[in-house]
């Protein structure tokens, strides 16, 4: 990252009782104002001269001092940032990042120093704190007890947020796992479900002024994962650290850092409309890879028996069927889920891996993260929780050609858990293994930090569509909301494009899927992840229309560019993504009424004829052609809980 100093000003505390500093985005539309008044630091944020965040607190409390009050501004420095980078596993393959940076050096009443850093790009703000050694070169470490960092929104703002759960509750005491229901357009004052606040990302609609998305990035083994507190009318939402009961009570809720050392970045994405929210890359723009990849890791598509056939499918005969399915569809991987060590056995897994590779397919294997964190019984267990057994296990996987692992059941945001995530990723990279996390926290810039990191669940995902009809009914809402929040800041392993009409092995019993076939197909474009699961079943090869088979065979798994077209969280979404130079425009209807609308497609030339997939009266895909008019517009129709695709 190149930095150019624009101006450096030395401010003496006796100049004024109030210190007021302003920094704007390169285009001047986004303005952050920082004030230090009576020893308290606050910031506020305006976009197009509209107040998006009202004066909100800054600072932290640590064992080396309180940096939330008694503060004096010493110096400020404003500089330019320019950054260019490539990556293959998120919504854009190339980023040109331009921003202005503000570093404010402050000291508390004990003369201990801290730097507040703000980075402001055209639609994004990020801030963090850095602690320094003192004149005697000590202390060299610190414990961060809490932050007072807050976010106070204008009155009337509504929320699109998901509650943080109590620790050690739910199935086999595996929560929190970022798998609670999102609300939509709720008032700010409503208490969270458990009284524990809300997880990141959190989306806010400030009425006519616009939209704000909160998140964080750069969380590694060097810090805790944070979330938002419940709402306070005077303060708004505050950064909250992990709960004491997480991880079976093991590990502190505080963060320990070396000095000099910094907190992660808190991110704020702002827009007059939803376009900057959906297209933001801020979680990757301000972090850098922590290590080099040992091999080239490529985005892929995989099959997965467990979603519809569950535990009973973990046997050689059924896995052979899904390997054959992957080979027939041209998919690269097949995931073998829990209990494989007991139900298939290690010797047979080696044979299965060899068979898969003979068909041009590689296996991924499921693992339990435990440890001691919770009571999840699935095996393999106690293979990933420490470096000695992990090294042996990963060496064996490398020797038989396993491509990656899916590790499940973490249940916490403490620093000790962040260390486990990082150790798993770093060790897996040495053996050329990609990693998916489930039952887990939100990834915070991990696609860029860890080159073999693939995706995380961290959402109430597709398995719940199988488990109960209520989740199946809610699926259209969920998948039209996540592009604006959960999936906007991080890759999301939803866990399956479901093509069975019934959520059962025989495709004739249990409850039905509530979405159309084109909705499911289009979700493979709407959902961003570099390891997409197409949860077809072997029976689908004979049952699905050929037009659907052909589309899924050619579904991209890597994107060069993402463009927001239209939508509203929980109601509908229309996105355009480009892969290998070709544009795919897709839409999902999250509501029970048909939608007909004119869509502007600037990525297509006027008078161009494009493929148009829509739903027929029976919910199957209908492929026709449509011509883009001179104004680069097309009229589309989305059936209730349906979708469309143009390419």
Alpha helices in 291-407 (DSSP H): 316-329, 340-343, 346-358, 387-399
427 upstream amide cis, omega within 30 of 0 = no
Buried b vs exposed e over 550-575: b needs ≥16 C-beta within 10 Å?
Answer: ebbeebbbbbbebbbbbbbbbbbbbb
610: β partners: 626
Looking up tokens 């597709």, which residue turns up?
462
pLDDT tens column, 187-202: 999 999 999 999 999 9
DSSP summary character for residue 144: E
Residue 128's DSSP bridge partners are 117
> Which residue positions in the chain have pLDDT lower than 50?
3-17
Collect all residues with Cβ–Cβ distance below 8 Å to 357 and sequence separation of at least 6: 401
Q: What is the pLDDT of residue 18?
A: 60
| Cross-strand bridge partners of residue 435 | 405, 453
Give alpha helix (H) positions in 507-629.
517-526, 540-543, 546-553
Total count of residues recorded for the chain: 647
Helix (H/G/I), strand (E/B), else coil: 588 = strand
And the tokens for 60? 């932290």
pLDDT at position 208: 86
Q: Where do the domains of the chain lie, and which CATH numbers do they carry?
A: 2-285 (2.70.98.10), 300-557 (3.20.20.70), 568-646 (2.60.40.1180)
In whole angstroms, give the CA distance from residue 559 to residue 566. 19
Query: Comparing C-alpha atoms, which of 368, 322, 364 is closest to residue 342?
Result: 368
Distances (CA, A) of 319 to 311, 326, 351, 391: 12, 10, 12, 26
Q: CB–CB of 92/285 below 8 Å? A: no
Closest by CA position to 130, among listed 218, 43, 202: 218
Confirm if 351 and 335 have CB atoms less than 8 A apart.
Answer: no
Strands 434-437 and 404-408: parallel
- Token reading at 231: 């709402």
pLDDT in tens, 282-318: 999 999 999 999 999 999 999 999 999 999 999 999 9
Question: Is the bond preceding 637 in cis, omega lying within 30 degrees of 0?
Answer: no
CA distance 6 to 631: 43
Q: How many CB atoms lie within 10 A of CB 190?
A: 12
Q: Which pLDDT score, from 0 to 100, does residue 371 have?
A: 83
- Token pair 């009571």 is at which residue? 375
Provide the b/e sequence for 462-490 (b: ≥16 CB within 10 Å). Answer: bbbbbeeeebbebbbbbbbbbbbbbbbbb
Residue 5, pLDDT score: 42
Sequence-ordered list of residues with C-beta below 8 angstroms from that of 161, at least 6 positions apart, any chain: 182, 183, 186, 198, 199, 202, 203, 228
Tell me what pLDDT residue 3 has: 46
The sign one gets for the Cα dihedral 538, 638, 212, 202 is negative
C-beta separation of 200 from 489 below 8 A: yes
Structure tokens at 506: 């025989």
Which residues on neighbouring strands pair with residue 61, listed in sequence order?
A: 66, 146
């Amino acid at each position: 990252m190149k930095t150019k100093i624009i101006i450096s000003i030395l401010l003496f505390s006796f100049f004024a009782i109030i210190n007021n500093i302003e920094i704007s985005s390169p285009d001047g539309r986004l303005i952050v104002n920082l004030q230090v008044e009576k020893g308290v630091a606050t910031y506020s944020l305006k976009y197009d001269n509209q107040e998006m965040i009202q004066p909100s607190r800054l600072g932290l409390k640590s064992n080396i001092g309180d940096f939330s009050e008694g503060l004096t501004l010493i110096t400020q420095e404003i500089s330019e940032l320019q950054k260019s980078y490539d990556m293959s596993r998120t919504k854009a393959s190339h980023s040109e990042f331009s921003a202005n940076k503000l570093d404010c050096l402050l000291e508390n009443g004990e003369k201990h120093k801290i730097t507040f850093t703000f980075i402001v790009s055209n639609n994004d703000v990020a801030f963090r704190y850095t602690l320094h050694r003192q004149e005697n070169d000590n202390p060299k470490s610190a414990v961060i007890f809490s932050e007072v960092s807050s976010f106070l929104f204008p009155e009337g703002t509504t929320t699109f947020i998901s509650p943080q759960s109590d620790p050690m509750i739910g199935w086999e005491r595996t929560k929190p796992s970022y798998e609670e229901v999102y609300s939509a357009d709720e008032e700010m004052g409503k208490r969270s479900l458990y009284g524990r606040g809300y997880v990141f990302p959190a989306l806010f609609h400030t009425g006519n002024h616009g939209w704000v998305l909160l998140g964080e990035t750069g969380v590694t083994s060097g810090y805790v994962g944070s979330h938002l507190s419940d709402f306070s009318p005077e303060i708004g939402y505050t950064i909250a650290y992990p709960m004491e009961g997480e991880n079976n009570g093991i590990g502190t809720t505080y963060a320990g850092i070396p000095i000099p050392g910094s907190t992660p970045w808190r991110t704020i994405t702002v827009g007059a409309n939803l376009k900057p929210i959906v297209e933001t890359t801020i979680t990757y723009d301000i972090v850098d890879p922590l290590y080099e990849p040992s091999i080239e890791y490529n985005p892929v598509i995989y099959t997965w028996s467990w979603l519809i056939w569950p535990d009973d499918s973990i046997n050689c005969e059924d896995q052979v069927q899904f390997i054959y399915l992957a080979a027939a569809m041209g998919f690269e991987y097949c995931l073998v889920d829990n209990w494989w060590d007991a139900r298939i056995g290690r010797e047979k897994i080696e044979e299965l891996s060899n068979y898969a590779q003979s068909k041009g397919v590689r296996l991924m294997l499921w693992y339990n993260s435990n440890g001691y964190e919770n009571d999840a019984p699935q095996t393999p267990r106690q293979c990933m929780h420490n470096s000695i057994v992990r090294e042996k296990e990963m060496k064996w996987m490398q020797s038989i050609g396993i491509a990656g692992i899916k590790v499940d059941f973490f249940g916490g945001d403490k620093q000790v858990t962040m260390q486990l995530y990082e150790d798993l990723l770093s060790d897996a990279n040495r053996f050329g293994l990609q990693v998916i996390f489930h039952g887990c926290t939100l990834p915070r810039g991990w696609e860029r930090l860890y080159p073999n990191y693939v995706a995380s669940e961290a959402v109430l995902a597709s398995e719940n569509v199988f488990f109960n009809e209520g989740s199946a009914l809610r699926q259209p809402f969920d998948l039209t909301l996540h592009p604006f929040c959960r999936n906007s800041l991080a890759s999301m392993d939803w866990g399956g494009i479901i093509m069975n009409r019934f959520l059962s092995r025989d495709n004739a019993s249990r409850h039905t899927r509530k979405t159309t076939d084109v909705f499911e197909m289009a979700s493979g474009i709407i959902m961003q992840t570099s390891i997409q699961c197409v949860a077809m079943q072997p029976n689908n090869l004979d049952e699905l229309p050929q037009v659907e088979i052909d589309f899924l065979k050619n579904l991209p798994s890597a994107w060069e560019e993402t463009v927001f077209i239209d939508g509203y969280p929980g109601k509908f979404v229309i996105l355009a993504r480009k892969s290998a130079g070709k544009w795919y425009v897709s839409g999902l209807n999250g509501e029970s009424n048909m939608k007909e609308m004119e869509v502007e497609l600037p990525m297509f030339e006027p008078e161009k004829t494009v493929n148009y997939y829509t739903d027929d009266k029976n919910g199957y895909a209908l492929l026709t052609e449509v011509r883009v008019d001179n104004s680069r517009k097309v009229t589309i129709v989305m059936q209730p809980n349906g979708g469309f695709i143009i390419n």
